[in-house]
């Protein structure tokens, strides 16, 4: 994962290029080049983030999905955490267990042992009848179990949802620390993302070296101004955009402010190729194998 500093290096190069183009092209003054005037680098290095694991192939947010993501060449696994009634951290996307298990109820109203009795795989078998593997009996994992499942090289993109108690952040950070995952490593092994800027600002205060990603809601993408990006750059390293709202110019504008830019959630190869041509830094996908293949095409 590059840092802000890394982005600033090649961002500077773009500005020099823009300046040379401006002078040669007769613009006369060093105004920012329009988007089409500067070719963005194609990004074979675009990072591969497996959204809720390889969730296109296995039930989301379960150990089989996370392990499969690893085998399919993901650089990172993305996951969401919720707190159980007895204060444990469970890895599950929704607030409730209704959609992805055979149980009912809000995670916060269930104990870990109640969660562990639920089947988090059969729903996937039922919705993917052509799959040859059965995931019946897969369980909701704890954060700790997911961290351990990825071995010593695992890299984790952890989303902290809006509206969770503040204590959840601290509990996530304490868990990461216990597992030696706070950023002493190179390459680093953790990034934290959230739609809630307050969560990220608090983490920046307590853990200034941790990579933070400000997720941008679908509805807000078009309204992100330059001052808005600059404010984000004060506390975060990257922004995460909905892929359908991402324009080529968004990538240029984010880079100009020293921010990396990620796209979520991209499942079609054609779209992956387009975003890579535009220079996106990371793609979050349910199909890390497809992104691996697209990246390989570019190395041939
Ligand atoms: O990486 C962004 C993505 O995880 C945010 O959306 O709803 O899948 O958590 P969601
Ligand atoms: Ca998420």
3 within 8 A of 248, measured Cβ to Cβ: no
Q: What are phi and psi of 101, to 5 degrees?
A: -140, 180
What kind and span of H or E run contains 284? strand 282-285
% the chain with pLDDT above 90: 77
Residue 285 near residue 50 (C-beta atoms within 8 A): yes
Residue 299: what pLDDT? 75
As annotated, the active-site residues are 51, 93
Residue-level pLDDT at 44: 56
Task: Say how many Å lie between the CA of residue 200 and the centre of ligand 2.
Answer: 15
Q: Give CATH superfamily name and number for 45-98+141-297.
A: Phosphatidylinositol (PI) phosphodiesterase (3.20.20.190)
The stretches in the chain having pLDDT less than 50 are 1-42
CA 105/CA 146 separation, integer angstroms: 23
Q: Considering all CA atoms of the chain, what is the largest pairwise distance in Å, rounded to the nearest integer?
A: 70
Domain spans, the chain: 45-98+141-297
> Residues with Cβ within 6 A of ligand 1?
51, 78, 80, 93, 159, 215, 240, 264, 284
DSSP string, 249-271: HHHHHHHHTT-EEEEE----HHH
Coil, helix or strand at residue 212 = strand
- In angstroms, rounded to a whole number, what is the distance separating the alpha carbons of residues 55 and 74? 12
Tell me what pLDDT residue 223 has: 72
Strand pairing report for 89-91 and 76-83? antiparallel
pLDDT at 161: 93
Pure H helices in the chain:
4-25, 63-71, 112-116, 122-127, 143-149, 166-178, 197-206, 226-233, 248-256, 269-278, 288-299
What's the pLDDT at 187? 76
Note the residue count of the chain: 300
Question: How many angstroms separate the alpha carbon of residue 94 from the centre of ligand 2?
Answer: 9
Q: Is the peptide bond before 187 cis (omega within 30 degrees of 0)?
A: yes
What pLDDT sits at residue 221?
Answer: 78
pLDDT at 146: 98
Confidence (pLDDT) at 224: 83
Indicate which residue's Cα is closest to atom 1 of ligand 1: 264
């Amino acid at each position: 994962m590059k840092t802000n500093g890394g982005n600033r290096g090649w961002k500077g190069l773009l500005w020099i290029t823009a300046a040379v183009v401006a002078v040669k092209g007769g613009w006369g003054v060093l105004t920012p080049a329009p988007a089409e005037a500067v070719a963005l680098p194609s990004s074979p290095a675009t990072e591969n983030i497996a959204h809720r694991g390889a969730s296109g192939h296995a039930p989301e947010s379960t150990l089989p999905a996370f392990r499969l993501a690893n085998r399919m060449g993901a650089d990172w696994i993305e996951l969401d955490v919720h707190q159980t009634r007895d204060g444990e951290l469970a890895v599950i996307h929704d607030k409730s267990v209704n959609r992805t298990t055979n149980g009912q109820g809000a995670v916060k109203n269930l104990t870990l042992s109640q969660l562990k009795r639920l089947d988090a795989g059969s729903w996937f078998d039922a919705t993917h009848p052509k799959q040859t593997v059965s995931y019946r009996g897969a369980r909701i994992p704890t954060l700790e179990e997911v961290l351990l499942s990825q071995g010593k090289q695992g890299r984790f993109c952890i989303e902290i949802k809006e509206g969770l108690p503040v204590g959840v952040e601290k509990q996530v950070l304490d868990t990461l620390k216990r597992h030696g995952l706070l950023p002493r490593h190179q390459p680093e092994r953790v990034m934290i993302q959230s739609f809630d800027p307050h969560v990220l600002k608090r983490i920046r205060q307590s853990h200034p070296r941790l990579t933070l990603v400000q997720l941008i809601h679908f509805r807000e993408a078009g309204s992100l101004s330059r001052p808005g990006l600059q404010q984000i750059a004060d506390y975060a390293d990257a922004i995460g955009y909905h892929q359908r709202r991402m324009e080529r110019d968004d990538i240029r504008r984010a880079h100009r402010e020293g921010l990396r830019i990620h796209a979520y959630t991209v499942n079609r190869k054609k779209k992956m190729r387009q975003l890579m041509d535009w220079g996106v830094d990371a793609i979050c996908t349910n199909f890390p194998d497809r992104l691996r293949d697209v990246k390989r095409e570019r190395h041939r």
